[in-house]
Amino acid sequence: VKDRLLESVGPNNFANWIEPLELKRVDNGVAEFSVRTNFMANWVARNFSDTILTHLKGADVPASRVEFRVEPHSGSSAPVATAPKSAQPVDATPEVPGAAPAGEDLPGAPLDPRFTFDNFVVGKPNELAHAAARRVAEGGPVTFNPLFLYGGVGLGKTHLMHAIAHEIRQRRPELRVLYLSAEQFMYRFVQALRDRQMIDFKQIFRSVDVLMVDDVQFIAGKDSTQEEFFHTFNALVDQGKQIIISADRAPGEIKDMEDRIRSRLQCGLVVDLHPTDYELRLGVLQTKAETYRAQYPDLRFAEGVLEFLAHRISTNVRVLEGALMRLFAFASLVGREITLDLTQECLSDILKQSDRKVTVEEIQRKVAEHYAIRLSDMIGPKRVRSIARPRQVAMYLAKQLTSRSLPEIGRRFGGRDHTTVMHGVRRIEELKGTDSQIADDIELLRRALEA
Ligand code: ADP
Ligand code: MG
């Protein structure tokens, strides 16, 4: 079986991970191997279980599961010290002969290769977070420790953290970078407790150069995990190691987080990712659309579709990406040009769902305020231009920013007919092109409404 494994995993992996394994017994369909350290057990279990099982079966070993047991060390507390040279597993030593690049020998989560700085679109809402992330990744003389990134779902926290990790690995491959979610941190901690492997656990987490913990709000209320996290954090900061944390809210707003941890989290740089604005959404859509165009060269793409999506889909970039992907897939399947109609047809559920909470009433209120007219005049009968024009602007924005139909909008404007609404919307569309004052007003109002 080992010979076959050598072929399938390659000589480096074999020397590091497979060769030191010893088959102890096969019992009740469980093939039990002994390994030297818990770290190794986890690594092998995670990366080679299936391969090992396949080859065992190929050799008619009656196993349906593999397990890796750590053999207690005889007396010594230094886990690798007693291991024979030839079979010495790569534990927390800096050089990993022939294995994955430095850093990847750590029990972290895999990095998404697409989450790089190059693929990150920068706009007003995320420029500070982006700049801070870059600074930390470049490791200049002035850095921020810890860097605390926070913001709502799908705004790019994980993307930025992976980007930092990629960048550091490229610039300084000798550094040990460990990225994982707070949930994974907890899972590993609990596992270490259960397996009485806390020494290994501490050794691994305290020997990294850069520790990144994503979604730290997860450990709020989990007392002993918090405690361990706090100690890990302090040990690393004391050694001058870089820590990067993300959360869905500011440190001060994480409930059930101990005060001492909260204040530790705040002592570096805290930056937030704001909800995306129209320009950023459009930027993201344009970038992604370019890749899709390369993938589907035959697809035709009507103007205004991306703008429409940037207007209408929520601030969450993940939702935006998903929508675009579906749109391209759908269009290529049915072989049609991507038009506004097709977009509305294909994405009706997303559009409905992410119909931001902007209501027609809210639009009327904001527009009335902006032009200093009475709200009652919005729905009233007056036809003087000083009132009719703002009313048309409000109708136009209602059409753009909500999913209300023309008759529905008309009803909210004092029971006007849908043709009146259509006329108003068209009028503003024309004016926008010729009257820069109107264009500016609309831009301003849209921002205010989307904020
Ligand atoms: P979070 O961790 O804040 O919930 P993610 O980092 O997972 O969000 O981002 C969600 C998705 O949106 C990912 O696919 C990510 O690549 C993408 N994304 C977010 N912000 C940007 C951005 N500024 N430019 C390009 N892609 C982005
Ligand atoms: Mg995330």
Whether 39 has a pLDDT exceeding 60, the answer reads: yes
SS (H, E, C) the chain: CHHHHHHHHCHHHHHHHHCCCEEEEEECCEEEEEECCHHHHHHHHHHHHHHHHHHHHHCCCCCCEEEEEECCCCCCCCCCCCCCHHHCCCCCCCCCCCCCCCCCCCCCCCCCCCCCCCCCCCCHHHHHHHHHHHHHHHCCCCCCCCEEEEECCCCCHHHHHHHHHHHHHHHCCCCCEEEEEHHHHHHHHHHHHHCCCHHHHHHHHCCCCEEEEECHHHHCCCHHHHHHHHHHHHHHHHCCCEEEEEECCCHHHCCCCCHHHHHHHHCCEEEEECCCCHHHHHHHHHHHHHHHHHHCCCCCECCCHHHHHHHHCCCCHHHHHHHHHHHHHHHHHHCCCECHHHHHHHCHHHHHHCCCCCCHHHHHHHHHHHCCCCHHHHHCCCCCHHHHHHHHHHHHHHHHHCCCCHHHHHHHCCCCCHHHHHHHHHHHHHHHHHCHHHHHHHHHHHHHHHC
Q: Which whole number is the average pLDDT over 255-273?
A: 91
Q: Which whole number is the average pLDDT over 75-96?
A: 33
How many angstroms separate the alpha carbon of residue 318 from the centre of ligand 1? Answer: 6
ipTM of predicted complex: 0.99
Q: What are phi and psi of 350, to 5 degrees?
A: -65, -40
Residue of minimum CA distance from atom 11 in ligand 1: 318
How many angstroms separate the alpha carbon of residue 119 from the centre of ligand 1? Answer: 10
The better pLDDT of the pair 5, 355 is held by 5
Q: How confident is the model at residue 116 (pLDDT cuts 50, 70, 90)?
A: very high
Please report the atom of ligand 1 found closest to the CA of residue 123: 23
Q: Is the pTM of this model over 0.95?
A: no
Q: Which whole number is the average pLDDT over 357-363?
A: 87
Task: Spell out the residues 6+ positions from residue 134 whose beta carbon is closer than 8 angstroms to its own.
Answer: 117, 167
Element housing 271 (H / E): strand 269-273
Whether 12 has a pLDDT exceeding 80, the answer reads: no
Q: How confident is the model at residue 72 (pLDDT cuts 50, 70, 90)?
A: low
CA–CA separation, 37 vs 32, rounded Å? 15
The CB of 400 under 6 Å from ligand 1? The reply is no
**Cβ of 338: how many Cβ atoms within 10 Å?**
23
Q: Which whole number is the average pLDDT over 252-273?
A: 91
Whether 273 has a pLDDT exceeding 60, the answer reads: yes
The CB of 159 under 6 Å from ligand 1? The reply is yes
The CB of 89 under 6 Å from ligand 1? The reply is no
8 Å CB contact between 136 and 259: no
- Structure confidence at residue 106 (pLDDT): 63
To test the ligand 1 pocket, which listed residue (118, 274, 318) has its Cβ within 8 A of the most ligand atoms? 318
Q: Which whole number is the average pLDDT over 281-301?
A: 89
Ligand minimally distant from the alpha carbon of residue 120? 1
Whether 433 has a pLDDT exceeding 70, the answer reads: yes
The CB of 315 under 6 Å from ligand 1? The reply is no
* Residue 410 marked as a ligand binder: no
**Cβ of 359: how many Cβ atoms within 10 Å?**
16
Q: How confident is the model at residue 209 (pLDDT cuts 50, 70, 90)?
A: very high
Q: Which whole number is the average pLDDT over 61-86?
A: 59
- Structure confidence at residue 354 (pLDDT): 61
Q: How confident is the model at residue 75 (pLDDT cuts 50, 70, 90)?
A: very low
Which residue is listed with tokens 């995320």? 126
From residue 418, alpha-carbon distances to 259, 348, 368, 430 in Å are 57, 21, 21, 18
8 Å CB contact between 39 and 92: yes
Q: 294-304 pLDDT, tens per residue?
A: 888 888 888 88
Residue of minimum CA distance from atom 23 in ligand 1: 121
Q: How confident is the model at residue 412 (pLDDT cuts 50, 70, 90)?
A: very high
* Structural domains present in the chain: 2-87 (3.30.300.180), 124-273 (3.40.50.300), 278-353 (1.10.8.60), 360-450 (1.10.1750.10)
Ligand minimally distant from the alpha carbon of residue 213? 2
The CB of 154 under 6 Å from ligand 1? The reply is yes
How many angstroms separate the alpha carbon of residue 8 from the centre of ligand 2? Answer: 34
**Cβ of 132: how many Cβ atoms within 10 Å?**
22
Please report the atom of ligand 1 found closest to the CA of residue 155: 3
Q: How confident is the model at residue 350 (pLDDT cuts 50, 70, 90)?
A: confident
| Percentage of residues in the chain having pLDDT higher than 70 | 90
